[in-house]
Structure 1
Amino acid sequence: MDVEIAEERIFVLTERFSLDHAEGRAWARRADAFGTVARLGGLLNRSASEDYECVYRERRLQPFWHLHATAVAGYERTRTYTVAVSPSVRSVRISGEDVAAEAGQFRLSGLESCRDETSRQYLFDGLSRAENPALASYLSYPGTVTDAEALAEAARGGIVVVPPENKASMLVREVMSAAIGKIDADRVLEERVTVDLVDLVYRPVFAFRYRHAGKEAVIEFDGLTGDIRPDGATFEQYLGKILEPRFLLDVGVEAVNIFVPGTQLVRILAEQGVKQATQRREG
């Protein structure tokens, strides 16, 4: 089996809204974060509805993984086919040979030449590791290629850069396991798995924690879609935490061989243009 794995990349999706815009939208929904009682109280007592304080503002980059894999298998197998004919048929001449027929059928053997090809996209939440196809909606937004050093600098500047809880190497193995299917073959001619995308994607999120009547609650604002979540959360514990290169893919031939004995590992570039653009930026 041959395995091809793309160079890992980090993308930061470009936020569509500013922090001020997000805060204004969140402030208008502040009562929602405290539930039905707070909303009703605001309707009955306008002064009470203004008894809110924003005690924390957060601008963060939240991760998810985007992988894509293609599996190709070429193989041969011998099969016997049963062909129905009229009950009166006693033999059928095929390619100059008579094949006996009995009880309205005759049997033929042949060598099947087969090729299977499957392709699938995988999206994993960077915090829970759960596969989440709904994250595909973010892939239509523009973004830029970056690296761990640039993210660390962003964290030092006050942006909460949340490191992924799952390593790319673990996800690549999971994707490969799903891509490798059982082959019903007499002889395998070709077997290849290509993981042609290994992208760590960061999407912008704003979070605001409000205090009201001795309680605190958080509203999240999606920096791409503009959606508001009144049951949000903050990631203050990640403030200033640096994304280390160990979170990226680092799969050697030995590691892959442990997973698939006899594997030949090839590293490929998903897009040569992306690498060139990165080099220009660094230059």
Structure 2
Amino acid sequence: MSIAQQFIQLQAEATHIYRFDEVYSFRAAQEQAEKEKLNAFGMLAKFTPWNRPKEDTVLLSRSEARMEPFWFVKANRNVDYTCALQYPISVHNPYAQKVSLLGTSFELARQGDKAKFDLPAEEHCHRKLAFSTFLDGMQRPIKESVLENYCSKYRFQEVEEIAVEGMVKPLIPQQTVIQQACAQLNGQAINAHAIQSDSVLLEEISLYLRPVFAFEFIWSTADKSGVIEVDGLTGAVRTDGQWFAEKLDRLLTRDMLVDASAELAGALIPGGGFAVKVLHKLSE
């Protein structure tokens, strides 16, 4: 099969940073965390009669209001290709021995009173494949529907930059987001004899930041710690929370994401035998 080099294009205004507005305040979140602090050390600790956490032995160690990232990516792949195949043609004349068509003769294959011949043909095809998904930036198994629900139910605004304070550094970088989109699109089979053109258009790569409050409690008599998280949008409490020590170490701007998208996409080598030739940053 003849394979064309694949182009990856970045659509103009494809990259965005969105920040959700807090629904619950830090103070309200802390009150909820205090109510749940005895559950921060697992079920076994809670139901061990001779050694379990108590109000006076569980103390707040540290707390933070942080912004947790998740990604949205939307892309499509456009492929122009040809398929070489044989069209079976039925012949109803019982006396026919062969058929001439456009200067070419075809012998008939007979089975009983039926006859046919195979006509070689080439189909010229165009296929558009679409892909979109939400990805938790911290590599947790959060369902896509949960992240999508944040966007549909809660207010957010686009920002041009994010200060480093409180911004958790994504464990899934922009490069991985682009790679996953290209891998999903290139993983869909194209039944082709030859591919004339192949391109992936990155329509949207958005970074969403949602508010989360984290409270670390120390169980002094057992020398254990646990983290309570309170979702700043829904108010939901997690008693098995995490403390993300690595924060963003520099100002993050939308222009930085745009430049990174262009640079990273241009460096990709997707699977399936396709090679990236060049990235076009579309400005019109």
**Matching residue of 1:113:** 124
The answer to whether the 8 A contact 1:219-1:232 is kept is yes
**Matching residue of 2:272:** none
Name the SS for the 1:221 alignment partner: strand
Q: What do the CA deviations read for 1:206-261 (whole angstroms, capped 9, x no partner)?
A: 111123343321111111232211111223553x8434459734255797267434
> Does residue 150 of structure 2 align to residue 138 of structure 1?
yes
**Matching residue of 2:15:** 8
The alpha carbon displacement at 1:28 in A equals 1.8
**Matching residue of 1:102:** 110
**Cα distance in 2, alignment partners of residues 262 and 36 from structure 1:** 55
* Alpha-carbon distance change, 251 to 237 in structure 1, aligned in 2, over 3 angstroms: closer
The alpha carbon displacement at 1:200 in A equals 1.3
**Cα distance in 1, alignment partners of residues 100 and 143 from structure 2:** 54
Q: What do the CA deviations read for 1:58-89 (whole angstroms, capped 9, x no partner)?
A: 11001122111111112222310335788968
* Alpha-carbon distance change, 94 to 29 in structure 1, aligned in 2, over 3 angstroms: farther
Name the SS for the 1:69 alignment partner: strand
The unaligned stretches of length 5 or more in structure 2 are 1-5, 270-274
* Alpha-carbon distance change, 74 to 91 in structure 1, aligned in 2, over 3 angstroms: farther
Q: How does 1:1-283 map to 2 (within 5 A)?
A: 1-6=6-11, 7-36=14-43, 38-40=45-47, 48-82=54-88, 100-103=108-111, 104=114, 105-128=116-139, 133-134=144-145, 135-140=147-152, 141-148=154-161, 150-152=162-164, 155=165, 160-180=166-186, 183-214=190-221, 215-238=224-247, 241-244=249-252, 248-249=257-258, 250-252=260-262, 256=266, 259=269, 260-267=275-282
**Cα distance in 2, alignment partners of residues 41 and 130 from structure 1:** 30
- The residue identity in structure 1 corresponding to 2:250 is I
* Alpha-carbon distance change, 66 to 94 in structure 1, aligned in 2, over 3 angstroms: farther
The answer to whether the 8 A contact 2:58-2:217 is kept is yes
The answer to whether the 8 A contact 1:163-1:242 is kept is no
The answer to whether the 8 A contact 1:68-1:196 is kept is yes
Q: RMSD between aligned alpha carbons?
A: 3.9
Q: If each structure's helix is expressed as a fraction of its own residues, which one has the higher value? A: 1
The answer to whether the 8 A contact 1:74-1:190 is kept is yes
Structure 1-normalised TM-score? 0.73
The unaligned stretches of length 5 or more in structure 1 are 270-283
**Cα distance in 2, alignment partners of residues 23 and 89 from structure 1:** 92
* Alpha-carbon distance change, 256 to 127 in structure 1, aligned in 2, over 3 angstroms: same
Structure 2-normalised TM-score? 0.73
> Bigger relative contact order, structure 1 or 2, given CA contacts below 8 A and separation 6+?
2
* Alpha-carbon distance change, 96 to 169 in structure 1, aligned in 2, over 3 angstroms: closer
**Cα distance in 1, alignment partners of residues 66 and 90 from structure 2:** 68
The alpha carbon displacement at 1:125 in A equals 2.9
- Give the stretch that moved more between structures: 241-250 or 50-59: 241-250
Aligned length: 260
**Cα distance in 2, alignment partners of residues 69 and 89 from structure 1:** 56
- The residue identity in structure 2 corresponding to 1:265 is H
**Cα distance in 2, alignment partners of residues 233 and 223 from structure 1:** 15
Identity of matched residues, %: 23
